[in-house]
């Protein structure tokens, strides 16, 4: 699946000359958290997000209280303009991560994770044609169909054994699968607990499975102990 299959086509945008307050009102009125910024040539020249505005407020407070704002260098001056300027062109982020309509959704998800962003403009021939947000990717998960297989214990067993090999590389020499009245039982010797977890998830995602019993054993020589660490609350 590609960007063009899931993107929002009617995109709410702003211009660099718009007042920051009006841009914030526009985001609130349309229940969105970011705006692509379009210049006079119709090209995307920046993004204004809730994060930009919240960081601006937070940095203003921090610098007022702690005197932390530094503007003796180019970076400092740019930060000063972004925090205190009242036009969208001054407050927006200029580095725009974008994709084309044919970009695979997996790559889009990777870009969002690596760059810590919530939305990606879709650009074709230098023109904005849509936008993909995190919610668009979440909808793929929500709407994803459960794996369909033929009804019956024999069909379930065949489907599970086949996907164990194709998806996880675990053949019948490692595990044995039995199915009775939709109840799946897996026995065998595995290398790690993560393999056990992957098998469980594989089975649970096949339609027709009425329950799962794990009879697998992890070889003691392959068990890795982890020391407990305090929960950091994330």
> For the domain that residue 107 is a member of, what is the CATH number?
3.10.580.10
Domain boundary among 121, 143, 165: 143
- Give residue for tokens 């260098």: 73
Number of domains in the chain: 2
Residues 13 and 43: their CA atoms lie apart, in Å, by 11
Give the phi and the psi of residue 100 in degrees, each rounded to 5: -100, 165
**Residue 105 sits in the same domain as residue 160:** no
Residue 176 CB neighbours (<10 A)? 14
* Residue 201 tokens, joined: 């998830």
Any domain includes 90: yes
Any domain includes 123: yes
Any domain includes 233: no
**Residue 130 sits in the same domain as residue 30:** yes
Domain boundary among 102, 117, 143: 143
Each residue's pLDDT expressed in tens, for the chain with a length of 234 residues: 899 999 999 999 999 999 999 999 999 999 999 999 999 999 999 999 988 888 766 655 545 444 545 545 566 677 777 777 789 999 999 989 999 999 998 899 989 989 989 999 999 988 999 999 998 988 887 776 665 565 789 989 988 998 898 889 898 889 999 999 999 999 999 999 999 999 999 998 888 888 999 999 997 765 444 444 444 443
**Residue 135 sits in the same domain as residue 73:** yes
> Which of 60, 46, 53, 51 minimizes the C-alpha distance to 21?
53
**Residue 31 sits in the same domain as residue 126:** yes
Any domain includes 228: no
**Residue 139 sits in the same domain as residue 181:** no
Any domain includes 9: yes
């Amino acid at each position: 699946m590609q960007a063009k299959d899931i993107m929002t086509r009617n995109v709410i945008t702003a211009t660099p000359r718009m007042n920051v307050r009006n841009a914030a009102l526009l985001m609130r009125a349309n229940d969105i958290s970011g705006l692509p910024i379009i210049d006079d040539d119709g090209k995307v020249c920046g993004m204004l997000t809730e994060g930009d505005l919240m960081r601006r407020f937070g940095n203003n407070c921090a610098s007022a209280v702690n005197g932390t704002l530094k503007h003796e260098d180019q970076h400092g001056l740019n930060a000063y303009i972004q925090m205190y300027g009242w036009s969208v062109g001054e407050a927006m982020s200029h580095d725009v991560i974008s994709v084309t309509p044919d970009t695979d959704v997996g790559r889009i998800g990777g870009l969002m994770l690596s760059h810590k962003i919530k939305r990606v403009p879709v650009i074709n021939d230098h023109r904005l044609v849509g936008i993909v947000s995190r919610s668009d990717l979440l909808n793929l998960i929500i709407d994803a169909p459960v794996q369909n297989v033929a009804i019956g214990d024999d069909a379930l067993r065949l489907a599970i054994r086949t996907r164990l090999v194709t998806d996880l590389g675990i053949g019948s020499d490692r595990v044995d699968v039995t199915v009775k009245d939709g109840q799946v039982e897996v026995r065998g010797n595995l290398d790690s607990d993560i393999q056990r977890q992957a098998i469980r998830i594989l089975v649970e995602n096949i339609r027709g499975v009425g329950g799962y019993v794990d009879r697998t054993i992890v070889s003691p020589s392959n068990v890795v102990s982890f020391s407990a660490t305090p929960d950091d609350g994330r």
